[in-house]
Amino acid sequence: MITAKDVSLALVELNRLATDEYGLSLHDLLEAPEHGRELGLEDRLWRIGRILGVLVKEPFSHPPRVITDPQESLTGARRAWDLREKAFDNIENRQRPEYKVLVELIKDPQRRIDLGLGPYPEQALDPEEVCAEVRWAARSMANERGFFRPMALSVGTHLCSDDAARSKVGDSIRLVKAGYLPHAETVIGAEMLSAVNEAATNVPLLGPNPTLTTGFILLIGILGLDGFCTWLNEYVRPRDNPRAET
Instruction: Give the Cα separation of 194 and 172 in Å (integer).
Output: 6
Higher pLDDT, 65 or 237: 65
pLDDT at residue 244, rounded to an integer: 43
pTM score: 0.91
Q: Which of 20, 24, 101 is nearest to 60 (CA)?
A: 101
| Span 49-90, pLDDT tens digits | 999 999 999 999 999 999 998 888 889 999 999 999 999 999
Say how many domains are in the chain: 1
Q: Which residues contact 15 (CB under 8 A, 6 or more apart)?
A: 25, 26, 27, 184
Q: What is the pLDDT of residues 16-36, one digit of tens each?
A: 999 999 998 888 787 755 544
* Nearest partner of 73 among 58, 101, 54, judged by Cα: 54
What pairs with residue 34 in β-bridges? 37
In tens, the pLDDT along 109-126 reads 999 999 999 888 888 899
Question: C-alpha distances in angstroms, 60 versus 55, 96, 199?
Answer: 10, 11, 25
- What is the per-residue DSSP string for 38-93? EPPHHHHHHHHHHHHHHHHHGGGBPSPEE---GGG-TT--SEE--B-GGGGG-TTG
Cα angle value 87/93/99 (rounded, 5°): 100
Residues 94 and 59: beta-carbon distance below 8 Å: no
Q: Residues 213-229: what's their mean pLDDT?
A: 92
Quick one: average pLDDT of 129-155? 96
Distance from C-alpha of 195 to C-alpha of 210, rounded to nearest angstrom: 12
Residue 211 has pLDDT above 80, yes or no: yes
The vertex-186 CA angle with 148 and 207, nearest 5°, equals: 35
pLDDT higher than threshold 60 for residue 241: no
pLDDT at 184: 43
Residues spanned by the domain of 152: 4-244
Distance CA 148, CA 21 (A): 15
pLDDT (0 to 100) of residue 188: 72
Chain centroid, CA 46 distance in Å: 10
Please return the burial class of 184, using the count of CB atoms within 10 Å of its CB with bins 0-12, 13-18 and 19+.
middle
pLDDT at residue number 114: 92
SS3 180: coil
Across the chain, what does the average pLDDT equal? 87
Task: Tell me what the mean pLDDT of segment 230-243 comes to.
Answer: 75
